[in-house]
Amino acid sequence: MSDVLANDVRVKYQKAFDTIRGILEAFPEDKWLVAHGDEYYIPSRIAYHLAEFIDGAVAGGFKDPDFKNKLPFGDWHHSTAETLPGKAALAAYFEEAVARATKALDAIDDESVTALLPPEMARMGATQLGAHLGVMRELSAHTGEMNKMLIENGIDDVWK
């Protein structure tokens, strides 16, 4: 069996990772911990969620029942500007998560991508491909939020 599907999945993840990396690089340091319109939309918070989501959903961290307790900066959702990581610390965690995710993605093939998901994962889709598409939706939603915040700061959006 060819790996045409698996290769497509890998390429799209790498493009998503490159886009997020570009946003992290472009984001102004002085706006990193500043709420944008609503206290939820702190760039560090959204970027942290992207990194931990990649680490959990793509790299396989979700398989560890203690994954959320091991996150380097605590619970992203309830973090505040005072508890969220600075840009350099977040970028380092992002790169670690991407390295783990890339290793996990290197192991997929067309057979695994088309495999059925276990019933307890039905909310993610019927197949692994469905789960990957769900992850892409999540990454895209938050990439859009980050890009909107870039635009609010007078910087062009990033799309790789």
Q: Show me where the domains of the chain are located.
A: 4-152
Q: Residues 95-103: what's their mean pLDDT? A: 98
What's the pLDDT score for residue 120?
86
Q: Can you state the angle between helices 128-152 and 43-53, rounded to 10 degrees?
A: 160
Backbone angles phi, psi at 38, to 5 degrees: -145, 145
Q: Residues 119-139: what's their mean pLDDT? A: 93
Q: Which fold has domain 4-152?
A: Four Helix Bundle (Hemerythrin (Met), subunit A) (1.20.120)
Q: Residue 129 pLDDT > 80, yes or no? A: yes
Q: Residues 134-152: what's their mean pLDDT? A: 98
What's the pLDDT score for residue 122?
87
